[in-house]
A = this chain, B = another copy of it.
Amino acid sequence: MTTIKDVARAAGFSVTTVSRALNGHDDVNPETRRRIREVAEKLGYSPNIAARTLVSKKSRTLGLLLSALTRSSVKDNIVFEMLCGMNDRAAELDYDLVLFNTTPQKQRQKSYKALCKERGVDGVIMMGMRLDDPYLEEMLHASIPCVLIDIPIERKKNIGYVMTDNVQGAMDAVNHLIALGHRHIGMINGHAQAAVSIRRLEGYRKALERHGIPFNERYVEDGAFREDGGKEAAFRLLTSCPELTAIFCASDLMALGALQAIRALGKRVPEDISIVGFDNIVAAQYCTPALTTVNQDKYQMGYLAAAVLIDMLEGRQVQRYRVMPAELIVRDSTGPVRGS
């Protein structure tokens, strides 16, 4: 409850001087500054952020728009791991994170700009957004700096992004399968409204192409990035294309679903069918067989997102677009093609 006025009175200086002393301005006598610091400390003074924000227009707060912060995203710990990274970088630079809770109903009521302005956030990190999310379009017309995760948009100065090299990752995954002798390789993709789906499909095609294997669109099904979606997609794929010996999944969660489907069909992994996932979620290393997958450095992505955003906010020279390398992790769900 101590305000700057209390400190000023107790220290025998004006409010102005106290403010300038505490904020490190240089037109204040060192001895005065020491004295003021001392008094402020003794009184347990800490500035009121609301007042400061009101006048300075800076809140040292980052808004997080996580459309994936739902019960269903609990299984893949991706969002959480990114959150940890963001939180760490924000802490280092003394920023706070506020979680915007947006549900589809709320979005209709409140525009992106209103959301940001109300809360007075300096910048925004968006993740888990579909390409057709209305907020994405609104964001493009707003002046608030924003860093996107997994959505590469390079149209504006105040927008940055962080994503994994999905094309490379998918290529690595499929090359691995090809190296094992597989020629009939299916793919379970997410959905059309995800930038990563497009990239991963591209990597899949490129890898096939490079080895002279024709692309067959019957071999690709969408699984909506969900476990049950992956299961159903695997069912469809394996029943309609029995020649398949391997499946590349655009997410580990879908791969886990595929594993179930394969088991239900009485086949074995990797003896009958090889499976590669993407993301390297925690469950991937514990499931049986342990999943061969493409690792994304989720923590680092979150960390970078926060870092890039804050650099932008503080006017530092930044590399606004960051693409992280993907890394194939070979475990037990892939093996040589049967009969080879």
* In the complex with contacts A50-B54, A74-B77, A79-B80, A101-B87 CB distance below 8 A: yes
Q: Are B71 and A91 in contact (CB under 8 A)?
A: no
Q: Is A288 an interface residue (CB 8 A)?
A: yes
Inter-subunit contact B46/A50 (CB<8 Å): no
- A111 sits at the interface (CB 8 A): yes
In angstroms, Cα B317 to Cα A224, docked, is: 43
A174 at the interface (CB under 8 A from B): no
> What 1/0 flags go to A101-135 for Cβ under 8 Å of B?
11100100011011001111000000000000000
Give chain A interface residues in 19-59, CB to chain B under 8 Å: 44, 46-51, 53-54, 59
Q: Is the CB of B111 within 8 A of A44?
A: yes
Residue of B nearest to A93 (CB): B101
Do A69 and B83 touch (CB < 8 A)? yes
The verdict on A239 contacting chain B, using a C-beta distance below 8 Å, is: no
Chain B residues contacting A106 (CB-CB under 8 Å) are: 91
- A256 adjacent to chain B (CB < 8 Å): yes
Q: How far is the CA of A217 from the CA of B288 in the complex (A)?
A: 36
Q: How far is B73's CA from A53's CA once the two chains are assembled, in angstroms?
A: 33
| Bound Cα distance from A282 to B119, whole angstroms | 34
A169-183 near B? 1/0 per residue, CB < 8 Å: 000000000000000
A289 to chain B, nearest CB (A): 9
B48 touches A120 (CB 8 A): yes
Is A310 among interface residues, defined by CB-CB distance under 8 A? no
| Interface residue A287 (Cβ < 8 Å from any Cβ of B) | yes
Report the minimal beta-carbon distance from A307 to chain B, rounded to whole angstroms: 14
Interface string of A270-290 (1 = CB under 8 A from B): 000000000000110011100
A48 and B44 contact, CB distance less than 8 A: no
CA distance A91 to B87 in the complex (A): 21
> How far is A329 from B216 in the complex, measured between Cα atoms in Å?
44
Is B53 a contact partner of A50 (Cβ separation < 8 A)? yes
Q: Which 4 A-B pairs have the closest CB atoms?
A: A91-B101, A80-B80, A50-B53, A46-B114
A81 at interface (Cβ–Cβ under 8 A)?
yes
Contact A49 B103, beta carbon cutoff 8 Å? no
- Chain B residue contacts of A119, Cβ below 8 A: 49, 96
Q: How far is it, in angstroms, between the C-alpha of A184 and the C-alpha of B101 when the chains are bound?
A: 49
Asked if A326 is at the interface (CB within 8 A of a chain B CB), the reply is no
Q: What residues of chain B lie closer than 8 Å to A44, measured between beta carbons?
A: 111, 113-114
List which A82-102 residues lie within 8 A (CB) of chain B. Answer: 83-84, 87-88, 90-91, 96-102
- Checking B46, B97, B103, B287 against A98 with a beta-carbon cut-off of 8 angstroms, the contacting residue is B97
Give Cα A199–Cα B46 distance, bound, in whole angstroms: 38
| Contact across chains for A50 and B61 when beta carbons are under 8 A apart | no
Complexed CA–CA distance, A282 and B74 (Å): 8
Does any Cβ of B come within 8 Å of A156's Cβ?
no
